Amino acid sequence: MLNIQTKQDEITVTLKLDGIIDLTTYSVLLARLKAEMDNGVRSFVFDMDEVFLFDSTGIGELYYFVSEHKVSINFVNVPSFIQETLEMMGFFDALKQIETEVETN
């Protein structure tokens, strides 16, 4: 299960995530991201404090979404075991590369 609470400032939506991000819950996250994009949001912050699983399917789908839609996503309060996995996979570097491509185009 994945619960999402949102908070918006001028240009960024913070998504407070609670639960797991995997094949069974990714559609919930995707629907929320698309709904926010329909309202003009292109910058997101994921508050991961209450996430206890972010599996490779969720990671891959999120990467695909970011690269396809050219949105900005930053992470806060990432549990250390998830942070280590994302760093080991090169996920943060890949997101920075997408942002660089968007800025230069």
What's residue 58's pLDDT?
Answer: 87
Closest CA to 58 of 88, 94, 23: 23
| Beta strands in the chain, from DSSP E residues, in sequence order | 2-8, 12-21, 43-54, 72-76
Q: Domain ranges for the chain, please list them.
A: 2-96
Q: Which two tokens stand for residue 75?
A: 């992470």
Q: Please write the tens of the pLDDT for every residue from 68-87.
A: 998 889 999 999 999 998 99
pTM: 0.88
3-state DSSP assignment of residue 49: strand
As its CATH architecture, domain 2-96 has 2-Layer Sandwich (3.30)
